[in-house]
Structures are given as structure tokens and as C-alpha cells.
Amino acid sequence: MFLIAGNIMTRGSIAKRLIRVTMLATDPLPGGMGVATVLSCALFAAISGSSPVTLLAVGAILYPALREAGYSKRFSLGAITSGGTLGIVIPPSIPLIVYGLVTEKSVADLFIAGIGPGILLTAVLAGYSFWVNRHLPSKSFDLPAFVIALKEGIWSMLLPVILLGGIYSGYFSPTEAAAVALAYGLLVEAFIHRELSFADFRKTTLDTAVMLGMLFPIIAVALSLKSVLTIERVPHELAMWITSITESKIAFLIAVNLLLLVIGCFIDVISAILILAPLLLVPAMSYGIDPIHFGVMMVINLEIGFLTPPIGLNLFVATTAFREKFSEICLSVLPFMALIVTVLMMVTFIPGISLWLLR
């Protein structure tokens, strides 16, 4: 239901409305459009739940605007290609739901734990965008235009607030939140924005069914594998083996991060979580690592896989969408990848970033 809700809201005018709000809000800043690019990606990714869809929706509007405003091609490509990855950690996050499913941990707690790292990632990327483009001219703040844009985009921006507020307050569960998101998406696009026809709804439903048809067999196999591994005590033996090699919690976290960075280059984030989360969580807990914190760390780490060859999905989508060389796209994301890795290290060794709202 989260997937179909995101797809429904993606087909409407949400991207344009969100981008308009962020651009007007950041106009007074030097390089404000670069900051608006990151904020637009963060907001839209949180709604759509899809990194490639965010890249396409935001990039189609902002890439030409960035180039026309004097932003370098490399920065423009890097900001849009990297910005789409923010959606897999900002709630409601599909990878966090999958992690909660295979490890039997609270999805509500995982959502709440993703807020701090998501805000930190967005702030770091936005700060970098401001700094490298500080030489570009700014505009005066247009209050009347901003108020109008805010009124037009408020329905879209309220969705994450409603979902997280309802889950955190206990008004509804994460499963019920998916139904709320779907009902809200239909209401907004069909009756308020009036940009979703029955034909659009039908096609969106079919597209989501195809996506789920590819995902469910992977989940079924992964859960079966988890049961077999548990019966055979593989996680327990792995935990014993790792703890016999090193007693250092820091060394374990560094090793796990290196492993996930390599795995993320070859396996998609959902498959990696389904296979590795049950295996790695037991030894992680033996070192006293909070399972919620560990899940957020895993998701941020695997998020980098969208930007790393040979199968970085966002790299190929950007290559096709912007008709640029693959090598140029890879070079454009390097500074953003360095920043994401920096935030990953902060989240890894400062658990409070992800757990502060749960205390």
C-alpha cells in the first residue's frame, strides 16, 4: 500500500508543487536553487518512497533550471542523482519496513529512528550545495508568491506529518499507516488536485502489482532462508565466531560497514537486507548494539549502493534521463557520496543520532 500510494502521488503534480515551494523558500540564499534541489528530493522521496522515481520527477524540472541559472553541469547531475537516495532512509521507508519484517523489530520505532539521520543527511547535502554555489547571485524573497505556492503544496507536504504523527502517537500502526497513505493519496490527487483519472489509477495499480510480483518471491525465499538458518543455529555460530576474533565493538562496526559497502555495489538494497539483516543482527546484539540503530545504519550504508557501479541504479537512470556519459554521472556523485559516507560514520558511532527520539 505504501508503494501504490507513492506511485499514485508521483503521477500527479506533487513534484512541481513541492519544487515551487522549496525554490521560493531558498531564493534569498546564494546558490539557493542548489539547496532547493536537495530539499525537493528529500520531500518528494519521502512521499514516493522510490529513489529512481524521485530522480526522474525532480530532475525533469530542476536539471534544465539549474543549468539555465548558471550551475555547473557536474554539480547539477550530482545533486539530482544523489538527492534521490534520501528517500530510502526518510520515513516512510520501504527498506526500513523490510528490515523490521525480517528481524521482527518495530517498524514504528525504525521510522522514528530514521528521522534524525534523514534530517542530518539532508542538512549536510544542502549545506554542501550552498557552499559550492555561494558565488551565484541570490534573489529577494517573494512572500506573496511563497504563500500561494505553500497553499498549493500543503496537501502534499502534510502526508509525512500525518503518517509519522499517527504512528508516533499510537493512533494507528505502521500497517494501518499504509492504508491511510493510500486513501490520502487518492483523496488529494483525485479530488483536490484533480489530476488522477481512473485510467491513471488503473495503470498505477498494475505497475505496482508488477513491482510486487518481483518483490514477493524474494521475500518468500529470504524468510524461508532465515528460518533454515535459525534452525541450524547459523546466526548463533556466526556471532560466536566473530566475537572470538575480536572483542572490539568498533572493529565489528567498521567490518560490517565495509562488508555492506561492497555488497551494495552488487546487490539491491531490499535483497541485501533480506539476506544479511538476520545474519548480522545476532552478532551485532552480542556487542550490545541496539537493533533499531543497526537497522538504520544498514539502510544508510546500502543507500550508497544506488550511486556505485557496476549496478548503481541511479547512475543508469541518470545516464538515460539526462543523456550524459556514464563516466560523467559517476564523477558527478563523488563529492555527495563522500558526504553520505561521512554521515554514515557519524550515525554508526553516535547512536543518539538515530535513537534520540526513542528515549
Please report how the helices 107-132 and 143-169 are oriented relative to each other, as an axis angle in degrees rounded to 10. Answer: 150
CA–CA separation, 110 vs 163, rounded Å?
Answer: 13
Domain count across the chain: 1
- Spatial contact of 266 and 275, defined as CB atoms under 8 Å apart: no
- Spatial contact of 159 and 9, defined as CB atoms under 8 Å apart: yes
- Cis, peptide link before residue 310, omega less than 30° from 0: yes
HSE on the CB side for 157, CA within 13 Å? Answer: 15
Which residue in 45, 120, 32, 129 sits closest to 88, CA to CA?
A: 45
Which residue in 113, 31, 141, 46 sits closest to 79, CA to CA?
A: 31
- DSSP class of 134: T
Tell me the CA distances in angstroms from 189 to 8, 150, 175, 182, 344, one per residue in order: 8, 17, 22, 11, 36
Cell of 30: 546564494
One digit per residue, the tens of pLDDT, for the chain of length 359 reads 777 877 777 676 777 788 888 889 998 988 899 999 999 888 877 776 667 777 877 888 889 989 988 899 999 999 999 987 887 788 778 888 889 988 989 888 898 899 899 999 999 999 999 999 988 888 888 889 999 988 888 887 787 778 777 877 778 877 788 788 888 888 888 888 787 788 888 888 888 788 677 667 766 776 677 677 778 777 667 667 776 777 788 988 998 898 888 888 877 788 888 888 888 888 898 889 999 999 999 999 988 988 988 778 788 888 888 888 989 999 999 999 999 999 999 999 999 999 887 77
3-class secondary-structure state, position 12: coil
Q: Model pTM?
A: 0.83
Q: What value, to the nearest 5°, has the Cα angle with vertex 126 and ends 188 and 322?
A: 70
Find the domain containing 195 and state its range. 2-358
